[in-house]
Amino acid sequence: MTPVMKSLGFRYIPAVLAMVVGFTTFIPTTADARDDFSMGVVLGDPSGLTLRGGIDGRSAIQAHLGFSFFPGDAVSAMVDWTYDAFDFLRSNRSASMYFYFGFGGKAMWFTGRNFVYEHNNRYSFPDNSYFGFGVRGLVGFRVAFRNAPFDIFFEVAPIGLTVVTPDPDLYYDIDGAVGFRFRF
């Protein structure tokens, strides 16, 4: 783990999630949280608004809309199909912890200011406006509380990004996010 990740407290996320799930075991069960519509906040790539709508018992469509500092003051929109593959807490009456995977697309406008990949024998882009889109796969964990109307999630998504304008090219990256959503 890098010093930056340690300073941001990422090593404490599993412990905090375990404590939250542990505290909720004393609250009675009400409903399953798979098919609800939810909206909340996502932090990472991007940081902004997140939406999720259940399709059936295991599938959902989710979207993240927001800003990120990499690859340089970016505005991003992502839409993904997800599938809840396994519930680690299926015997728990107050919460579920789903392992999920999925795939989707990403569109982004960015300045290129922090883009450090080699490009035209240079190691950064000129500070211009760029537009790109790509495909991404994702894996994550989502804790859905049965008696409280919110979810907590963590996901990682490798992405292939095609920069369309002004200098077309193909790049690879990894998105990561943590967030929470309120169910309606």
Q: What is the pLDDT, as a whole number, of residue 28?
A: 37
Q: What is the pLDDT, as a whole number, of residue 4?
A: 41
Task: Report whether 140 contacts 155 (CB < 8 A).
Answer: yes
164 Rama sector, left if φ>0, alpha if ψ -120 to 50, beta otherwise: alpha
Q: What is the pLDDT, as a whole number, of residue 36?
A: 81
- Return d(Cα 86, Cα 99) in angstroms, integer: 5
> Which SS3 state, helix, strand or coil, does residue 153 take?
strand
User: In Å, how far from its chain's centre is CA 120?
Assistant: 31
Largest separation between any pair of C-alpha atoms in the chain: 61
- Return d(Cα 172, Cα 160) in angstroms, integer: 5
- Return d(Cα 17, Cα 14) in angstroms, integer: 5
pTM comes to 0.74
Q: What is the pLDDT, as a whole number, of residue 3?
A: 42
pLDDT mean by block of 10 residues, the chain; 184 residues: 43 52 40 74 94 92 89 88 93 93 94 64 67 94 92 95 83 91 93
3-183, CATH topology level: Porin (2.40.160)
- Return d(Cα 34, Cα 138) in angstroms, integer: 18
Domain limits, the chain: 3-183
